[in-house]
Structure 1
Amino acid sequence: MKEVLDYLEKTQTTHLEELKQFLHIPSVSTDSNHKEDIRKAAQFVADYLKEAGFTRSEMQETPGHPLVYGEWMEAGKSAPTVLIYGHYDVQPPDPLDQWQSEPFAPEVREGRLFARGASDDKGQVFMHLAVLKAFLKTTGELPLNVKVCIEGEEEIGSAHLYDILQQRKEQFQADFVMISDSGMVAKDQPTILYGLKGFTGLEVTLKGPENDLHSGLYGGAVKNPAMALAQLLATMKNAEEVVTVAGFYDEVEPLSEDERVLMKEAPGEDYPTSTGAPSTISEKGYTAKEHTMARPTLEINGMYSGYQGEGTKTIIPAEATAKLTCRLVPGQDPSAIQDLLVAHLEKHVPEGVTLSITREPLSAKAYKVSPDHPLIQHAAASLTETFAKEAVFVRMGGSIPVVEWFDALYQIPVVLLGFGTPEDRLHSPNESFPVEHFHKGMQTLVHYWEKVKNMQ
């Protein structure tokens, strides 16, 4: 292990420059104008794995953007096999005028590497690639069998990955999955993410008259769809942040006292300071950290109705629409939750309007692995060994559908070992990644692979 760490120490500058080359490619998956850039980024990953010494490295075509698959299976049948997942596609850089440097011209300032994809997810993917190469170039082998799956559609919902994972189960079969597409609760604070929320949603529209009406002539005779929508949505959650949809909490996995202790001990965000909101709110009986990490939510993401221009236009709008999403916890099924929401809306729709509902097609179940699982404990120990600080254990309010897919299709644990920080500005102008975390992350991975090797 020492020779691998020494190699990484000596090649720090080289690795940073190689990452800059990767970041220079504008692999924006949402924009068809970047189709060739997407392929160029995929080719970069495939070529890097091949040059590192992988016995198989190739771009595999999909109905959309190509997936990069690689493997090195020479550790023997008794050695564990890990599947490393990540993505090479990035978000659009807009708005460009808010960037302090060009989004695809990587630049280091004040200890941070600024570029689109620096943290999400090229920087974290590249750490894995560099560590695998370091092992093969110094020892000639890897501590365990490794498969690599780096896709190009994560930022557009991994449109084709589920079908690919289902159709090619033998190709991607492993003992566990490693994903570095997340972060720490604070810079230099080792963090183990052992749970993610699920996701589902609806679009709700109430229709009244055939067209907008004069509010003076028809107010009091025709139900206002905007008012009806406000009344309907108000039936779904009370002032104590408790969702009042019948059955919503029935299958929720209880939050154990041990987990409440873990969450209490983890550094927390000062929400009024970080968001500018006047105060913190949470579900009755739970702290804000507990609510965001481990309790389900129902949120209105957007509402639209009637006149939006300057001044006043005295109308009764013809219709009103709201977009709703739920973040789900273990035990809750997205389809069942959609059914409950639909039943509630149909029961409580005010008289005088008609209801139409569109179900969100992209849903995902929550994911959680035991903090005591050996693979998780080894990850915590590896972080502590590198950062010289005890790791904290948290669950995250966000959702990563691919994590639940690996769990459902393969029934194997997923290790979420991320090195991002709250200051990384993911999906925003001036995305960045701490250079120190880039180097320490690679050291952590070396320690981790050695520990997993010794589990045999």
Structure 2
Amino acid sequence: MSKKVIKYLEEHQEQHFQALNAFLSIPSVSTDPVHKEDVKKAANFVKEYLDTIGFEKVEIQSTGGHPLVYGEWLGAGKDAPTVLLYGHYDVQPADPLELWDSEPFKPEQRDGRLYARGASDDKGQVFMHLAVFEAFMQTEGMLPINVKVCIEGEEEIGSEHLYRILKEKKDQFNADFAVISDSGMVAENQPTILYGLKGFTGLEFTLHGPSSDLHSGIYGGAVRNPAIAMAHVLASLKNQDEVVGVSGFYDQVESLSQAERELIANVPGEDFKTTIGITETISEKGFTTKEHTMARPTLEVNGLYSGYQGEGTKTIIPATATAKITCRLVPGQEPDHIQELVIKHIENHTPAGVKVDIKKEPLSAKAYKVDPDHSLIKKAADSYTKAFGKETVFVRMGGSIPVVEWIDAIYDMPIVLLGFGTPNDRLHSPNESFPIENFQKGMKTLVYYWNAIQDN
């Protein structure tokens, strides 16, 4: 079966690139009201494609914001597994336009890559699934398993309405497992299974001192300087060994098994000194840098400001100092609980002479992890290896994808993250692109995977 489907994809490669170019040419920027109609146009593209290739039911669902495309093909029968495919058709703004080497919404192939906004995130990866479904329907007259599709238009603005819809329409979207292709590989041509994501929580706090900025010569030595008080509070949060000083922070953290440490050790490491221009890497004491970034919790200061910001010197004691903090969490840690622990720590370490005002970050997410030995994951790894001709590596990612947590919490189903992006895709930046070779190998991976699931 796989040979016929792959042959179809090879023979129709040019037509598929033409269709993908049409998809990428739609400026479906969800954050900009100017592009509201373009977002609808992109939703209609997905709907019409699913209709054309023979999905039994396809509808555009209202969300209260940008529309969601739902489709289903359940012709494999009740005994066959059902997958929920999630993706998104909205994209980030293309600004700054002057930094693009070609028009962001006029796709262009050069140097083995397809350049356009959305080429990697996520239109290109969504389209790969659509083309593979088409190939199965045209060659076999059916799909290997039952498929439900959820392609939304608000991912780039936080998927504001998706959680409610998934919960309210639980029966409609329910499946045996989910597949998401909105991630990437650790290196070019290195097939990668992403089996874990970190959770997220955060807050902003301000230390208030005098009612206004003060002359530092007249009042220095008499009042607490909020900027220096802030330095003391921040220093108490994490030591030079990258160990977080918040009491209870690590209490619920799952320990890393030797087997998992070996999995992480096999992942090709990024040369941070070259790629991001640092002089030295750091990690939590007792863990490697890869273990820390992938599988250990972190606490970071994301913003810090106080006092005079202009040129030269202004001799003041600032009235306030503000810091923004986020924590990336691992399985076992509850975002709300960690947030409260950090708040308690800040309150307890705020020195006399300043008052603290804390604003909780309303968005949070739990960490997600699936057993790398799960049969669905092993079949995905085998499919990657077969298509790319290289052994698949297994990674956990330091980032967070809220929809993964939502699907896990609502449906309690395994989630397979089948991503084909690369570190050089420049997501959200000018000159976003996607390797043309990955379109070809990625679609082969999907063909092998759906057949492997059918043969289970």
Establish whether TM, by shorter chain, passes 0.5: yes
In 1, the alpha carbon distance for the partners of 2:5 and 2:96 equals 41
| Structure 1: gaps spanning 5 or more residues | none
Kindly state the Cα deviation for residue 272 of structure 1 after the two structures are TM-superposed.
1.1
Q: What letter matches 2:283 in structure 1?
A: S
Moved more, 208-217 or 273-282: 208-217
Structure 2 CA distance for aligned equivalents of residues 367 and 140 of structure 1: 36
Partner letter of residue 372 of structure 1?
Answer: D
Q: CA RMSD in A?
A: 0.8
Give the SS at the match of 1:90: coil
What is aligned with 1:107?
Answer: 108
Aligned-partner residue type, residue 159 of structure 1: E
In structure 2, give the amino acid aligned to 1:332.
Q
2:338 counterpart letter in structure 1: I
1:26 Cα shift?
0.8
Q: What is the alpha-carbon distance in structure 1 between the residues aligned to residue 216 and residue 36 of structure 2?
A: 50
For residues 227 and 105 of structure 1, what CA distance do their matches in structure 2 show? 51
- C-alpha distance after superposition, 1:239-295 (max 9, x if no partner): 000000000000001111001001111111111111101110000000000000000
**Partner secondary structure for residue 357 of structure 1:** strand
Q: Distance in 1 between matches of 2:311 and 2:21?
A: 46
Q: For the residues of structure 2 that align with 1:240 and 1:17, how far apart are their CA atoms?
A: 53
Q: Give the Cα separation in 2 of the matches to 1:87 and 1:119.
A: 11
> What's the counterpart of residue 428 of structure 1?
429
**1:14 deviation in Å?**
1.1
The aligned runs of 1:241-390 (5 Å cut-off) are 241-390=242-391
Instruction: Give the letter for the 1:64 counterpart.
Output: G
Helix, strand or coil at the partner of 1:356? strand
2-structure distance, mates of 1:369, 1:222: 53
Inter-partner Cα distance in structure 2 for 1:305 and 1:41: 44
In structure 2, C-alpha distance between the alignment counterparts of 1:299 and 1:134, rounded to whole Å: 46
For 2:279 and 2:351, the matched residues in 1 are separated by 33
1:4-40 deviation line (CA, Å, top 9, x unaligned)? 1111010111111111111111111111111111111
Q: Distance in 2 between matches of 1:147 and 1:296?
A: 34
CA–CA separation in structure 1 for the residues paired with 2:324 and 2:38 = 33
Q: How far off is 1:366 after superposition? A: 0.5
Query: Are residues 1:146 and 2:147 paired?
Result: yes
Equivalent AA in structure 1 for residue 321 of structure 2:
A
Q: Deviations over 1:81-133 (max 9, x none)?
A: 00000011111111111111111111111001111111011100110011111
**Which TM-score applies when normalising by structure 2?**
0.99
Q: Which amino acid aligns with 2:195?
A: Y
Query: SS state of the match for residue 235, structure 1?
Result: helix
Within-5 A mapping of 1:384-423: 384-423=385-424
* Partner Cα separation in structure 2 for residue 428 and residue 16 of structure 1: 22
Structure 2 CA distance for aligned equivalents of residues 310 and 28 of structure 1: 37
Give the counterpart letter for 1:5 in structure 2.
Answer: I
Distance 1:372 1:199 in 2: 25
Whole-angstrom distance in 1 between the partners of 2:288 and 2:229: 32
- Residue of structure 2 in register with 1:240 after alignment: 241
TM-score (norm. length: structure 1):
0.99
Encode CA deviations 1:180-204: one digit per residue, 9 max, x unaligned: 0111111111111110101110011
Bigger mean CA offset, 174-183 vs 308-317: 308-317
Alignment deviations for residues 198-255 of structure 1 (CA, whole Å, 9 cap, x no partner): 1110011111111111111111112111111111111000000000000000000111
Residue in structure 2 matched with residue 3 of structure 1 by the alignment: 4
Percent identity of equivalent pairs: 69
Q: Which 5+ residue runs of structure 2 have no aligned equivalent?
A: none
Q: Which residue is 2:220 aligned to?
A: 219
Partner amino acid, structure 2, of 1:203: E
Number of positions where the alignment pairs a residue of Structure 1 with one of Structure 2: 455
Q: Whole-Å Cα distance in 1 between the matches of residues 429 and 342 of structure 2?
A: 32
Q: Return the alpha-carbon distance in structure 2 between the equivalents of residues 103 and 353 of structure 1.
A: 49
CA distance in 2 between partners of 1:248 and 1:90 (Å): 36
Give the distance between the partners of 1:20 and 1:222, measured in 2 at CA: 63
- Tell me the residue number matched to 2:447: 446
Per-residue CA deviations over 1:64-92 (Å, capped at 9, x if unaligned) read 11111000011100000000000111111
Equivalent residue number for residue 91 of structure 1: 92
Give the residue type in structure 2 aligned to 1:443. Answer: K
Give the distance between the partners of 1:412 and 1:338, measured in 2 at CA. 27
Q: Deviations over 1:148-170 (max 9, x none)?
A: 00011111111111111111100
Comparing 309-318 with 180-189, which one deviates more in the overlay?
Answer: 309-318
Alignment of 1:122-201 (within 5 A): 122-201=123-202
After the TM superposition, which residues 8-157 of structure 1 pair with which residues of structure 2 at under 5 Å, given as runs? Answer: 8-157=9-158
